[in-house]
Structure 1
Amino acid sequence: MSEETAPTMTARERRHAKARETFIEVLRQSCNVTAACRASKIPRATAYYWRNELPEFAKAWEDAEEEAGDTLEQVAWDRAVNGNSDRMLEILLKGHRPEKYTDRLRAEHTGRNGGPIQHEQVASDADAFTRTIAGLAARGSEGSGTGEAET
């Protein structure tokens, strides 16, 4: 007899043990926390509390989700072999096995015409900024004539 079903357990402890057992079984079949909570007659907060506080329950939860993912994968395989297509099944697989089924995007950055990215060092002190502005102003005044002779 396991510790959870030992005769020394209180009625409350036995109810909680039974609720945890039911929760894990329904989670294994459905991979749905809400359905598992309803079947065990516990609030979601209780399920998450147990998962955070009881390492054995957390491990059973993880195992149940893995088994549910295995079931989804088997259904996907069966449907692929039989020639059927089901978008919802794809979504479920991506949700339960993202490391295996998620979309991947690769982005590369390049400069103009596919060349390297050009880097320009910007002046970091006020004197360099002032020299740059003065140089621009000087160039601007040289070419600002209208082409008419002054009288």
Structure 2
Amino acid sequence: MANQTTRTEQKTTAFLRALSECGNISDACRMSGVPRATAYQWRDADADFAEDWRKARAMGLEVLEDEALRRAYTGVDRPVYQGGKQVGSTREYSDTLLIFLLKGAKPETYRDNAKVEHAGGVGITLIHSIPRPSGTNNGGN
């Protein structure tokens, strides 16, 4: 167990490289062999490592964003089967990803424009009842 928590340049580099490839802390820990709790301990104890972590994660999230763009714009080939055999493929696009990407890139144009207005006050009456302990007198009832 002691070697799992010992921070080496090799383990540090492996973790940061994995994080920059996937953007996911749990996956980066699995890929690099660094226990999740250990990675967080390293981050909390070392400001330079914390900054490298932030940069690596941002790179990994760019990879995810690139994949979302590809699925929304270029699409994904899905096989078509007939009689148990692949007879072709069809290209599918993700309208949902496209919507999210547009909303994120141009919120002034694509955001939801629902507007809620409130005029006047709201009257609320709170009634708090304190339960009586069992065995007490209820006033003769």
The TM-score with structure 1 as length reference comes to: 0.49
SS at match of 1:62: helix
- In the alignment, the residues of structure 1 paired with residue 113 and residue 41 of structure 2 have an alpha-carbon distance, to the nearest angstrom, of 36
1:78 corresponds to which of 70, 93, 101: 70
Ranges of 4+ aligned residues in structure 1 off by more than 3 Å: 100-107
Q: Is 2:22 the counterpart of 1:36? A: no
User: Larger radius of gyration, structure 1 or 2?
Assistant: 1
- In the alignment, the residues of structure 2 paired with residue 46 and residue 15 of structure 1 have an alpha-carbon distance, to the nearest angstrom, of 9
Structure 2 residues not aligned, in runs of 5+: 76-92, 124-141
Relative contact order, higher structure (CA 8 A, sep 6+): 2
1:18 corresponds to which of 10, 20, 28: 10
Judged with a 3 Å threshold, the aligned counterparts in structure 2 of structure 1 residues 16 and 66 are, in CA distance, closer, same or farther, namely same
Report the AA paired with residue 108 of structure 1.
Answer: V
Report the AA paired with residue 47 of structure 2.
Answer: P
Identity %: 31
Query: Cα distance, 1:42 vs. partner?
Result: 2.3
Q: Is 2:45 the counterpart of 1:53? A: yes
Query: Cα distance, 1:119 vs. partner?
Result: 7.5
Judged with a 3 Å threshold, the aligned counterparts in structure 2 of structure 1 residues 46 and 105 are, in CA distance, closer, same or farther, namely farther
- In the alignment, the residues of structure 1 paired with residue 115 and residue 31 of structure 2 have an alpha-carbon distance, to the nearest angstrom, of 46
Higher strand fraction: Structure 1 or Structure 2?
2
Contact preservation (8 Å) 2:18, 2:31: yes
- In the alignment, the residues of structure 2 paired with residue 19 and residue 61 of structure 1 have an alpha-carbon distance, to the nearest angstrom, of 13
Query: Cα distance, 1:104 vs. partner?
Result: 6.5
Judged with a 3 Å threshold, the aligned counterparts in structure 2 of structure 1 residues 54 and 105 are, in CA distance, closer, same or farther, namely farther
Matched pairs, number:
97
2:57: which partner in 1?
Answer: 65
Structure 1 residues not aligned, in runs of 5+: 1-11, 95-99, 111-115, 121-151
